[in-house]
């Protein structure tokens, strides 16, 4: 795949910053660092940029969550999404169509009511809807699954490939080098500090190394002697043939553990989750996953019965016990930074990259990413975010 900004030049012997992983996280960080004058920057990618979860996700974007940690981080990101196409001079196809979190029971609606109060306290505009208002907003929803919902009008969706390409092109224009098909095979360190990496194309010296390796972040951390308590999991998605437009906002169903939207061309795009965590090491799709999505989406939108699926794919994420990302420096190894553990990484990339770039350059962890530090996974200080539609592996991290 030809991605804008990828260089054909040889690797230099050293860089000020090396970022491992050219998904949207790594590319966004390269852009933010380069435009701040962070020196010579290299992004090393084992395949092509966007090959991993960044090119395989559901594309949805919101900041109306339940926890102050998620609200703070993702609202910073949502604010960036609104103007990102202009800033990067590349259309990310961000569509401000709204984002509806659907409640199908009174208990779910009560939880959303509490969430809306916290969102208002933190400056996030959202609206709690009764069943009739939800039906007016999305009339094709099955009445049996509508008890109410929470809508964020500023939310919506973007195109995953367009966003990856936009960041790649902008990072390259700012001076970052993006090296595709360059697999990292080792991390070198001395006296408690990163000194470089080994790769399939030779060794590279650096004093600042960022782990943005997505589903394979755990292996890269282990090369540096760092234990990353994550689990690689598979998420599956589908897209249908084009049908007459029937759905304006993005929708997340708490009851069915599904998320979806309809594109401007009429395709219905979405994914669903099983009740339990789905560990995997392959992006091979499954009949079980396709059956789960088809069954749930027809229940949610009966008009989809008989509509043809034109593509079905899977992606891998490196999931933490509380489904929250791991961001910031590793105290045990100076110069080693984490930007991994993402489950909602596409929507969170613009804000996280901005904050992590500031953290790397200033030497002070930004308050909005401080709660997402690595030590929470060992101390048990997990983040409780209950409005997600992905199963959790930890019993104390809340209903997803």
Domain boundaries of the chain, sorted by first residue: 14-55+161-230+322-379, 96-156+231-319
> What letter would DSSP give residue 372?
G
Alpha-carbon distance 390 to 256, whole Å? Answer: 10
Output the CA–CA distances (angstroms, integers) from residue 93 to 117, 239, 241, 248, 280, in the order listed: 31, 17, 20, 15, 31
The pTM of the full predicted model, rounded to 2 decimals, is 0.96
CB 50 within 8 A of CB 164: yes
Quick one: which H or E segment has residue 186?
A: strand 184-190
Tokens in use for 160?
A: 């995953």
Cβ atoms within 10 Å of 185's Cβ, excluding its own: 11
Q: Are strands 258-262 and 250-253 parallel, antiparallel or unpaired?
A: antiparallel
Dihedral sign for Cα 146, 147, 148, 149, please.
negative
Output the CA–CA distances (angstroms, integers) from residue 180 to 42, 53, 257, 354, in the order listed: 11, 16, 35, 23
Tokens in use for 377?
A: 């996974």
**In terms of Cα–Cα distance, which of 393, 256, 242 is closest to 317?**
393
Percent helix, percent strand, percent coil in the chain, to nearest 5: 30, 25, 45
CATH class of 14-55+161-230+322-379: alpha beta
Fold type of domain 96-156+231-319: D-Amino Acid Oxidase; Chain A, domain 2 (3.30.9)
User: What is the C-alpha radius of gyration for the chain, rounded to an integer number of angstroms?
Assistant: 20
Residue position matching structure tokens 């101390």: 379
φ, ψ for residue 128, nearest 5 deg: -85, 130
Which mean pLDDT values do the consecutive 10-residue runs of the chain (400 residues) have? 88 98 98 98 97 94 98 98 98 97 98 98 98 98 98 97 97 98 98 98 98 97 96 96 98 97 96 90 95 98 98 96 97 97 97 98 97 94 92 48
Alpha-carbon distance 342 to 348, whole Å? Answer: 9
Alpha-carbon distance 145 to 103, whole Å? Answer: 8
Alpha-carbon distance 155 to 168, whole Å? Answer: 24
207, 27, 97, 308: CA torsion to nearest 10: -130
**In terms of Cα–Cα distance, which of 342, 374, 372, 390 is closest to 52?**
342
Alpha-carbon distance 286 to 391, whole Å? Answer: 18
Alpha-carbon distance 68 to 229, whole Å? Answer: 23
**In terms of Cα–Cα distance, which of 203, 190, 164 is closest to 18?**
203
CA angle 147, 290, 22 (to 5 degrees): 95
């Amino acid at each position: 795949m030809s991605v804008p900004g990828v260089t054909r030049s040889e690797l230099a012997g050293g860089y000020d910053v090396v970022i491992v992983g050219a998904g949207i996280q790594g590319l966004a960080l390269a852009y933010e660092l380069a435009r701040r004058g962070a020196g010579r920057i290299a992004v090393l990618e084992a395949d092509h940029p966007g090959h991993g979860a960044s090119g395989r996700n559901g594309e949805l974007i919101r900041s109306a969550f339940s926890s102050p940690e998620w609200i703070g981080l993702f609202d910073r990101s949502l604010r960036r999404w609104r103007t990102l196409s202009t800033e990067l001079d590349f259309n990310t196809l961000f569509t401000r169509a709204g984002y509806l979190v659907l409640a199908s029971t009174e208990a779910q609606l009560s939880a959303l009511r509490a969430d809306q109060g916290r969102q208002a306290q933190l400056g996030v505009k959202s609206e709690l809807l009764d069943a009739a208002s939800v039906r007016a907003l999305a009339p094709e929803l099955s009445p049996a699954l509508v008890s109410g919902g929470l809508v964020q009008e500023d939310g919506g969706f973007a195109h995953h490939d367009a966003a990856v390409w936009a960041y790649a092109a902008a990072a390259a224009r700012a001076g970052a080098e993006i090296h595709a098909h360059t697999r990292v095979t080792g991390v070198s360190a001395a006296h408690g500090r990163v000194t470089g990496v080994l790769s399939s194309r030779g060794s590279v010296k650096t004093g600042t190394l960022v782990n943005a390796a997505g589903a394979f972040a755990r292996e890269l951390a282990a090369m540096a002697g760092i234990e990353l308590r994550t689990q690689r999991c598979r998420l599956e998605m589908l897209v249908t043939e084009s049908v007459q437009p029937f759905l304006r906002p993005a929708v997340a169903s708490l009851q069915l553990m599904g998320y979806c939207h309809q594109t401007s061309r009429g395709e219905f795009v979405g994914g669903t989750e099983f009740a339990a965590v789905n560990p995997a090491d392959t992006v091979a799709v499954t009949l079980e996953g396709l059956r789960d999505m088809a069954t749930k989406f027809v229940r949610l939108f009966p008009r989809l019965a008989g509509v043809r699926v034109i593509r079905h794919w899977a992606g891998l994420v490196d999931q933490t016990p509380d489904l929250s990302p791991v961001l910031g420096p590793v105290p045990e190894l100076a110069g080693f930074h984490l930007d991994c553990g993402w489950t909602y990484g596409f929507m969170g990339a613009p804000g996280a990259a901005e904050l992590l770039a500031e953290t790397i350059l200033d030497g002070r962890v930004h308050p909005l990413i401080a709660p997402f530090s690595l030590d929470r996974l060992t101390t048990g200080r997990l983040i409780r975010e209950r409005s997600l539609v992905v199963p959790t592996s930890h019993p104390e991290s809340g209903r997803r």
